[in-house]
Amino acid sequence: MHIITRDDLPLTGFAGLKERLYVMSPAQFTGKRLADTSEGLGNLVYLADAFFRPHGSTGEHHHRNIDIVTCLIRGRLLHRGSVGDGQVLSAGDVQVQRAGTTGFAHNEVNPDDSFNHMIQIWFQPAQSPAATDYRVHQPQAGCRTRVYGDASPAADTNWLDVMITEENDTLAATVGGHCLGYLVHGAARLTEGSGGVTGQVRIEADTLFHAHDVSLHLSPDSYLLLSGIGL
Cα separation, 161 vs 149, in Å, equals 9
Q: Which residues contact 228 (CB under 8 A, 6 or more apart)?
A: 41, 158, 159, 175, 177, 178, 179, 180
CATH of 143-229, picked from 3.40.50.300, 1.20.1050.10, 3.40.250.10, 2.60.120.10, is 2.60.120.10
The reported pLDDT for the residue numbered 193 is 81
pLDDT band at 30 (very low <50, low <70, confident <90, very high): confident
195 against 52, higher pLDDT: 52
Give domain limits for the chain: 7-137, 143-229
Mean pLDDT of the 39-52 span: 96
Whole-number Cα distances in Å, 55 to 15, 16, 51, 170: 11, 8, 11, 36
pLDDT band at 3 (very low <50, low <70, confident <90, very high): very high
Beta strands in 140-170 (DSSP E): 143-148, 158-164
pLDDT digits (tens, 9 = 90+) for 104-157: 899 999 999 999 999 999 999 888 888 889 999 999 999 999 999 975 556 678
In the predicted model, what is the mean pLDDT of the chain? 92
State the DSSP string of 186-202: SEEEEEE--TT--EEEE
Burial of 14 (0-12, 13-18, 19+ CB in 10 A): exposed
Pairing of strands 171-185, 158-164: unpaired
Contact of 105 with 115, CB cutoff 8 Å: no
pLDDT band at 27 (very low <50, low <70, confident <90, very high): confident
Cα separation, 104 vs 33, in Å, equals 24
Nearest C-alpha neighbor of 218 from the set 185, 175, 196: 185
* Equal fold, 7-137 vs 143-229: yes
pTM of the model: 0.94
What dotted CATH number matches 7-137?
A: 2.60.120.10
Cα separation, 202 vs 6, in Å, equals 15
Q: Say what percent of the chain tops pLDDT 70.
A: 94
